[in-house]
Structure 1
Amino acid sequence: MTKKADKGVKLTPEQAKKRRGRSIAIACVLGALVVLFYVVTIVKMGPDIMNRAL
């Protein structure tokens, strides 16, 4: 069995910067979707959700 000296893909600094930018953009979009779903859920429940008996 031979061992490779090169493990994985080596990115240039420019490629690493672009990858980080894409990762941040995806995280922002995912966070926005979570907030959107939360808001839609609260709106669908209506204002009476706060007046329920505990």
Structure 2
Amino acid sequence: MAITRDSDLHIRRFSRNAGLGVVLLGFVAIVFGLTVVKVERGSTLEAYDHQPRTSLLPAEGVQK
């Protein structure tokens, strides 16, 4: 005996799952868009991770 009619619980679960799927797709689209923009503008961005930070370098002339 197959159940042909969805119960109210199934309908509510489906709507919640569909909403969560839309939110997750939106998040993935935002992350993908930011990644594309960062890759395209890579030469114009300041690359702080590629330059030594002067605050981390030892002071010149100071001996231990």
TM-score of the superposition, structure 1-length normalised?
0.66
The answer to whether structure 1 residue 17 and structure 2 residue 13 are counterparts is yes
Unaligned runs of 5+ in 2: 1-6, 48-64
**Structure 1 residue runs of 4+, over 3 Å off?**
none
Q: Report the residue type matching 2:20 in the other structure.
A: I
**Whose Rg is larger?**
2
Name the % identity: 12
Distance in 2 between residues matched to 1:47 and 1:21, nearest whole Å: 41
Q: Specify which structure has the higher proportion of helix.
A: 1
Measured after TM superposition, the shift of residue 46 of structure 1 is 1.0
Unaligned runs of 5+ in 1: 1-10
TM-score of the superposition, structure 2-length normalised?
0.57
Name 2:39's counterpart in structure 1.
43
Measured after TM superposition, the shift of residue 14 of structure 1 is 1.0
Q: Report the residue type matching 1:50 in the other structure.
A: E
Q: How large is the Cα RMSD of the aligned pairs? A: 1.8
Name 1:27's counterpart in structure 2.
23
Measured after TM superposition, the shift of residue 20 of structure 1 is 0.3
- Count of matched residue positions in the alignment of Structure 1 and Structure 2: 41
